[in-house]
Amino acid sequence: MMKAVSCAYVRATAQALSNSLRATGAAVATRQAHTDLQVPDFTAYRRDSVKDSRRRNESAEERKAFSYLLVGAGAVGGVYAAKGMVNAFVGSMSASADVLAMAKIEIKLADIAEGKSVTFKWRGKPLFIRHRTPAEIATERGVPTSQLRDPETDDQRVVKPEWLVVIGVCTHLGCVPIANAGDFGGYYCPCHGSHYDASGRIRKGPAPLNLEVPTHEFPDETTLVVG
């Protein structure tokens, strides 16, 4: 009550002062203000559990749990959506079934004489198939791994002892080596002088690794499948 009376008194005093100044012809600046604005009532939009301001915070945990549940459900949905998008993107970049079928090559071994190395094209790269002699097999099996830059035994590099299957790309800078050449009778890369033996292992020169051995199998005695 006292506050209302004080406000009325202040307004009356201000109005009287303004009238006096106008009467004397002085310039007066006035400011219109409203003090009867109604604050909107948002009660209808509030949860029933929080409408009572005198209620203790017993429902706080329940309300937090509900909010956390909504956030968690949204996060899980987002993760699954992102997973689907990633799988679809990766799948679009993967090779199709017909391309994968062409990724294998079947070779008739009867056409390769003993002691010969034949070159095929596989996945855009040269593929060396070498029909090794018994002497070559014995020589390569007798090489100590301590003498090798990239230690591998001959047995680790062949499925059948008489057949060597390697990718014909030098592991130095990607040149194509020459078969039946070099200091070790296997392959020789003329680009920078890398020498490989008849097991495709680097023996001399700058190449750091042995020639790559692709996945291959022998369905029968006269057929080789690479890939």
What is the full per-residue pLDDT of the chain (227 aa) written as tens digits?
555 555 666 666 767 766 665 666 555 566 667 677 788 888 787 777 666 666 665 556 666 777 788 888 888 888 888 888 888 777 766 666 665 556 788 999 998 999 999 999 998 899 999 999 999 999 999 999 999 999 999 999 999 999 999 999 999 999 999 999 999 999 999 999 999 999 999 999 999 999 999 999 999 999 999 98
Residues belonging to the chain: 227
Looking at residue 65, its pLDDT comes to: 75
Report yes or no: 192 and 199 within 8 Å, Cβ to Cβ. Answer: no
CATH of region 105-226: 2.102.10.10
Domains of the chain, by residue range, sit at 65-94, 105-226
For 60-81, b where at least 16 C-beta lie within 10 A, e where not — what string?
Answer: eeeeeeeeeeeeeeeeeeeeee
| CA gap 10, 17 in Å, rounded | 11
Looking at residue 215, its pLDDT comes to: 92
Q: What is the 3-state secondary structure (H, E, C) of the chain?
A: CHHHHHHHHHHHHHHHHHHHHHHCCCCCCCCCCCCCCCCCCCHHHCCHHHCCCCCCHHHHHHHHHHHHHHHHHHHHHHHHHHHHHHHHHHHHHCCCHHHHHHCCEEEEHHHCCCCCEEEEEECCEEEEEEECCHHHHHHHHCCCHHHCCCCCCCCCCCCECCEEEEECCCCCCCCCCEECCCCCCCEEECCCCEEECCCCCEEECCCCCCCCCCCEEEEECCEEEEC
Looking at residue 35, its pLDDT comes to: 73
Amino acid present at 155 = D
Looking at residue 81, its pLDDT comes to: 87
CA 16 → CA 5, 29, 91, 128, 205, distances in Å?
16, 14, 84, 111, 108
Only one residue has tokens 């057949």, namely 163
How is residue 69 written in tokens? Answer: 């549940």
Residue 9, C-beta contacts closer than 8 angstroms, at least 6 positions apart: none
How is residue 226 written in tokens? Answer: 């690479």
* Active-site hit among 34, 131, 172, 192: 192
What pTM value is reported for the model? 0.56
Looking at residue 27, its pLDDT comes to: 54
Burial of 125 (0-12, 13-18, 19+ CB in 10 A): middle
192 among known catalytic residues:
yes
